[in-house]
Amino acid sequence: MLTRWFYERRALSEQQNDPLTVEVEKKISRRIEKGENVKAYPISQFILQIKGRGVDFIVDLEKRTCSCGKFDIGKLPCRHAIKACFSIGKILYPYADDVFTTAAWRSLYEETINPIGVPEDEWCVPETIGDVKIVPPETRRGVGRRRKRRYESVEDKIRLSQGAKRRKCGRCGKEGHNRSTCENTI
């Protein structure tokens, strides 16, 4: 199975002619679309200020950093860095990390994985190991009622805090108290 996977991925990487992989190209094209409505103002040769929707970002192309943080962490140009590259007439591809290049992708699959020469039927397993019965470890069940193991999602917590179900009194049917604290006459 591994031999087949490596062969297929090696063949796929050899067909790729772009400097970046297909997934990275899709990400960059989405970021280009998102960055169309921002404007770039140069501060120095490689430092630019990107303005859009009331928020300003500082991009340093030489250090490969942006004040939004995506360029620093993801090692791919964020929409602000892309706009900065386009505004000063630079090519975008050198600013992506080498990990995302097609050459790095090809180097991962250049080695071959040879299949195992001996089929599983011919493996020599000693009888002392083959005859051993494996049982699960002994455990003791805890005392009392089992706890509910469901973790609430953020949406559930928000829904409960916004519209928490109000309890009614079982005797008079009004909200704000229960049957044991009801002061109404029967």
Choice between 123 and 159, residue whose per-residue pLDDT is larger:
123
Separation of alpha carbons 58 and 47, rounded Å? 7
Domain annotation covers residue 157:
no
* 37 and 52 Cβ atoms separated by less than 8 Å: yes
Position 148 in a domain:
no
How far does the chain reach from its first CA to its final CA, in angstroms? 76
Q: Per-residue pLDDT tens for 28-50?
A: 999 999 888 899 999 999 999 99
pLDDT tens track for 23-33 = 888 899 999 99
Q: Where are the beta strands (DSSP E) in the chain?
A: 39-42, 47-52, 55-60, 65-66
From CA 40, how far away is CA 51, in angstroms rounded? Answer: 6
With respect to residue 171, please indicate whether it lies within any of the assigned structural domains.
no
In a domain, 39, yes or no: yes
Q: Is residue 84 part of a domain?
A: yes
Instruction: Please state the rounded mean pLDDT for residues 56-61.
Output: 93
Is 36 part of a structural domain of the chain?
yes
pLDDT in tens, 104-114: 888 888 888 88
Looking at residue 32, its amino acid is: I
pLDDT over 90 percentage in the chain: 24
Q: How many domains does the chain have?
A: 1
Task: Quickly state the pLDDT bin for 99 (edges 50, 70, 90).
Answer: confident
Which phi and psi angles does 85 have, rounded to 5°?
Answer: -60, -45
Let me know if residue 96 belongs to a domain.
yes
Q: Does any domain span residue 170? A: no
Assess whether pLDDT exceeds 70 at residue 157.
Answer: no
Angle, CA 8 vertex, CA 5 and CA 14 arms, to 5°: 135
Closest CA to 82 of 99, 103, 59: 59
**What angle separates helix 79-88 from helix 22-34, to the nearest 10 degrees?**
80
Domain around 60? 2-108
